A and B are shown apart, each in its own frame.
Chain A
């Protein structure tokens, strides 16, 4: 039990009067002689050193005693004679406060040490101070500060060629990296340390520490056999050197290994050993941590009530030494235990607390845990908004951490995240997450559908109105178009009937009077009315929007060719139609191409006196090519130039911005080439 304040005061009071201390009992011969020196009180130097020595002797066995001795020593006025020792005492006191978790007090001591050491440029002491301060920063999760001080210490000791101290700094650096879950770097540092320790100047204590650390990493990496091996070595060494702290650490490590192997009885035993040591040494922080580990084992064994007990023990201590990190883990553990016991409200409270503490110590994994579990609980209780909120926090954090992972290049994050989860549970939750994401979203939208739907309705209303307007306009256009068509057709119908009649009547007249003088006039009437009807029919065909494809034009061309050429027993063939694919032509173009075609076929039928007409289509680049070739007798180009037919064709080609070429070789046939650029 730690001495009470009154005892402290009493001792102090007695020292102040330089009286014989009554309540303190010397335990060893060495101590006796030291007390002798104190009693003699020859001079301040001697007495100071005596107290310092007493402190050193008791450091490993009775922390409180050691502290009191150091404080007594430091109560002496500062003298140049023992200035270095003064610094050392400050550091040692700081170290002890550190062990008790009194980090602020520890830092204070180190600061005192540093100022003196820097004044007198005691390099070794500066380095010691730096290391001590670094340890404090580590415990307070200020990794960057820790690292910077450690590097300072390392620099000094490298300069002073103190390899042992270098190794110690390496070990501490390794622990810093470990806290940051940078396993690669941590392992590097530990191996560096181990190498130094194993060299000629053997430091079994340091070595056992290094071995223990390597064992830890192997455990994290899942190589349990190697881990056990290293840890056993470390344990033996620490027992040899009587280093209880190391031994306790090794026990805990073994406990963890046994847990991973699911040999829980052995694990519990190891942890029990560790707790004993920590209690003896009054090492609160480690004691608290170990209770958590024990709690985890009970959790694994589904003995949740027992787990709660252990976590609570850990929590109590953590609260007493105001260690936020420990509290965060303890809260988390209890939260999980309550969750398993289905006491969800309790669970949420503890997770909440855990999250707060985790935030303080920037422990993202605990935060993630808390978010996820709270999200699940809220979901189960149908508080969907809350559930979604936490779930989103969880995924956001997870994503940023995954990026972190990839950057650091390790895949062993899970190991750090030890608190309560088994590996399989994590996998399951991951799979669950995707599913939950979907269902959560669904639930959420179901709840807020009303609001969204309302807004949407307004928007849709506006859009529909607009669309309706546009459609209405388009419809009107179409109606107008349709009406135009109708009118045209009606007109043509009437005209067509009449023209047909004229044709019929003139034919009848011709029949009656075949040889008469009016015969040729009647013939003309018949022909021209026929022509007129043909043109009308073509025009109506062209303006019909249904006929706007090349395919349709082709069909009409074929029909026409059959009509004109077959009666004359002329063969014909169409080629290359498949190259024309769904191109659309406007009215003018359709009409003109078709008419050019008709003219050409008509000429072939009437004048060429050939037996075959070859009609070839092609679509090259953006141009439509039409070639009409007959195997007739050709014609005299110059004569034809003045004829109406050719002129018309050229005019039509010009109108649609196409190129028309007519080649006629006497005796070899005529070829018409039309090139039309398509937009």
Chain B
């Protein structure tokens, strides 16, 4: 049963290239391809894909907003953000909004399939830049000592990653396996999302949106 994927990308050439790529792989199939996320909730509801690929910077509504919309509709479909730069604040925001991972566009041709696979099995790669951003955002919330509720080990891994160490180095640094490192990172992602979701709810209650 091939995985159905929906693609949101406003650059026509790229979108078509991605579609072609997916098409070439028998394990995947394209459920839909759009150049904007204005009608994202309906589309996702009706198409019910297994994976969503979404560009971050899109006109009209950004990918981040789309992610928020999808998640607040109670939909847990894994969403992979596509971005040119990974040190972008937007990537971080997207993750906090509920994205499950991200892929750099320059790595598309080489790693698209692997990344989708990883996402499907629950992994979520993180780059040092993102790790730095997570840590920085933690420090920006002085009122809470541990705003995302990370464990000590998770914080250690995150810190090591932010210094530029690869998963392999991190694993050897703490004497754990690479898989454990990946799990830790995945947990960090989830907590980010949970935290941001909780914040969103709290904010909504506070602003009487719910």
Residues of A at the B interface (CB closer than 8 Å) are 489, 492-494, 496-501, 503-505, 507-508, 511, 526, 530, 533-534, 537, 540-541, 544, 546-547, 551, 554-559, 561-563, 566
Q: How far is the CB of A611 from chain B (nearest CB, A)?
A: 15
B61 CB within 8 Å of chain A = no
A548 → chain B, closest Cβ, in Å? 13
**A493 to B13, Cβ gap below 8 A?**
no
**Complexed CA–CA distance, A551 and B165 (Å):** 12
B163 CB–A CB distance under 8 Å: yes
Is B85 a contact partner of A507 (Cβ separation < 8 A)? no
Q: Which of A493, A541, A558 contacts B57 (CB 8 A)?
A: A493
A497 touches B21 (CB 8 A): no
- Contacts A493-B57, A541-B87 aside, 5 further interface pairs with beta carbons under 8 A come to A497-B105, A501-B16, A504-B14, A504-B17, A544-B87
Rounded to whole angstroms, the CA-CA distance of A497 and B82 in the bound complex is: 10
B204 within 8 A of A: no
Decide: B85 and A501 in contact? CB cutoff 8 A. no
Closest to B83 in A: A493
Q: Which of B82-141 contact A (CB under 8 A)?
A: 84-85, 87-88, 105-106, 108-109, 127-129, 132
Closest to B23 in A: A508
**Contact partner of B132 among A526, A540, A555, A558, CB < 8 A?**
A555
Find out whether the CB atom of B163 lies under 8 angstroms from the CB atom of A558.
yes
In the complex, chain B residues 1-44 whose Cβ is within 8 Å of any chain A Cβ: 9, 11, 13-14, 16-18, 20-21, 24
**Across-interface contacts of A554 in B (CB, < 8 A):** 163-164
Report B191-207 CB contacts with A as 1/0, cut-off 8 Å: 00000000000000000
B164 lies within 8 A of A489 (CB): no
Q: Give A540 to B128 CA distance when docked, in angstroms.
A: 16
23 CB-based A-B contacts, threshold 8 Å:
A489-B84, A489-B85, A496-B84, A500-B105, A504-B20, A505-B17, A507-B109, A508-B21, A511-B24, A530-B109, A537-B106, A541-B85, A547-B87, A551-B163, A555-B132, A556-B164, A558-B165, A558-B166, A558-B169, A559-B127, A559-B166, A562-B164, A562-B169
- For the complex, give the distance between the alpha carbons of A530 and B106 in Å: 7
| Chain B hits for A503, CB < 8 A | 106, 108-109
Partner of B17, one of A501, A526, A544, A559: A501
Which residues of B (141-200) have their CB < 8 Å from a CB of A? Answer: 162-166, 168-169
**Residues of chain A contacted by B88 (CB below 8 angstroms):** 489
Q: Is the CB of B165 within 8 A of A500?
A: no
Q: Which residue of A lies closest to B162 (CB)?
A: A555
Q: Give every chain A residue within 8 A of B20 (Cβ-Cβ).
A: 504-505, 508
Cα distance A566–B166 in the bound complex, in angstroms: 9
A562-B163 Cα distance, complex, nearest whole Å: 12
Tell me the bound Cα distance from A526 to B72 in angstroms: 40
CB neighbours of B168 from chain A (8 A): 562, 566
In the assembled complex, which residues on chain A have CB atoms less than 8 Å from the CB atom of B24? 508, 511
Question: B11 contacts A540, CB within 8 Å?
Answer: no
Q: Is B14 a contact of A501 with CB atoms below 8 Å? A: yes
Question: Most chain-B Cβ atoms within 10 A of its Cβ — which of A503, A555, A566?
Answer: A555
In whole angstroms, what is the CA distance A282 to B193 when docked?
Answer: 108
Could you tell me the distance between the alpha carbons of A547 and B165 in the complex, rounded to whole angstroms?
Answer: 17
Among the interface residues B9, B11, B21, B105, which one has the most CB atoms of the partner chain A within 10 A? B105
In the bound complex, CA of A493 to CA of B105 (Å): 9
| Cβ-closest 9 pairs across A and B | A558-B164, A562-B166, A555-B164, A496-B84, A497-B11, A504-B17, A533-B106, A501-B17, A500-B105
Most-contacted residue by chain A among B57, B84, B128 (CB, 10 A): B84
* Cβ–Cβ contact B85 & A555, under 8 A: no
On whether the beta carbons of B164 and A540 are closer than 8 Å, the reply is no
Q: Please give me the residue from chain A that is nearest to B18 by CB atom.
A: A504
Distance, CA A499 to CA B162, complexed state (A): 28
Q: Roughly how many angstroms separate A563 CA and B166 CA in the complex, as a whole number?
A: 8
Specify which of B13, B21, B84, B128 is in contact with A558 (CB 8 Å cutoff).
Answer: B128
Of B9, B14, B165, B168, most buried by chain A (CB within 10 Å of CB) is: B14
Q: How far does the alpha carbon of A497 sit from the alpha carbon of B8 in the complex, in Å?
A: 13
Within the assembled complex, what's the spacing in Å between the Cα atoms of A489 and B87? 11
A499–B164 alpha-carbon span in the complex (Å) = 26
Among residues of A, the one whose C-beta sits closest to the C-beta of B11 is A497
Q: Are A540 and B17 in contact (CB under 8 A)?
A: no
Residue of A nearest to B88 (CB): A489
Contact A504 B84 (CB under 8 A): no
A561 vs B129: C-alpha distance in the bound complex, in angstroms? 15
B62 to chain A, nearest CB (A): 12
Q: Which residues of B contact A563 (CB under 8 A)?
A: 166
> What is the chain B residue whose CB lies nearest that of A544?
B87
Report B-chain residues with C-beta under 8 Å of the C-beta of A504.
14, 17-18, 20-21, 108-109
Q: In the bound complex, do residue A497 and residue B128 qualify as a contact, i.e. CB atoms below 8 Å apart?
A: no
Query: In the bound complex, how far is the Cα of B163 from the Cα of A614, in angstroms?
Result: 18
- A537-B84 in contact (CB<8A): yes
Query: Are A557 and B164 in contact, with the CB atoms below 8 A?
Result: yes
What chain B residues lie within 8 Å of A492 (beta carbons)? 84-85
| Residues of chain A within 8 A of B85, CB atoms compared | 489, 492-493, 496, 537, 540-541
Asked if B11 contacts A494 (CB within 8 A), the reply is: yes
Mark contacts of B39-67 with chain A using CB atoms, 8 A cut-off: 1 yes-contact digit, 0 otherwise: 00000000000000000010000000000
B135 to chain A, nearest CB (A): 12
Shortest beta-carbon distance from A469 to chain B in Å = 30
> For residue A553, which residue of chain B has the nearest CB?
B164
Contact residues in B for A497 (Cβ distance below 8 Å): 9, 11, 13-14, 84, 105
**CA separation between A562 and B169, bound complex, in Å?**
9
**CB-defined contacts of B128 to chain A, threshold 8 Å:** 555-556, 558-559
Distance (whole angstroms) from the CB of A475 to the closest CB of chain B = 20
Measured CB to CB, the nearest residue on chain B to A492 is B84
- The residues of A that contact B21 with a CB separation of less than 8 Å are 504, 507-508
Complex CA–CA separation, A77 to B195 (angstroms): 123
Q: Which residues of B contact A500 (CB under 8 A)?
A: 14, 17, 105-106, 108-109
A551 to chain B minimum Cβ distance, whole angstroms, is 8
Could you tell me the distance between the alpha carbons of A53 and B45 in the complex, rounded to whole angstroms? 143
Whether A555 touches B17, Cβ cut-off 8 Å, given contacts A500-B106, A504-B109, is no
Chain A residue with the shortest CB-CB distance to B20: A508
A534 to B88, CA, bound (A): 16
A495 CA / B13 CA spacing, docked (Å)? 11
Binary contact readout B72-84 vs A (1 if CB under 8 angstroms, 0 otherwise): 0000000000001
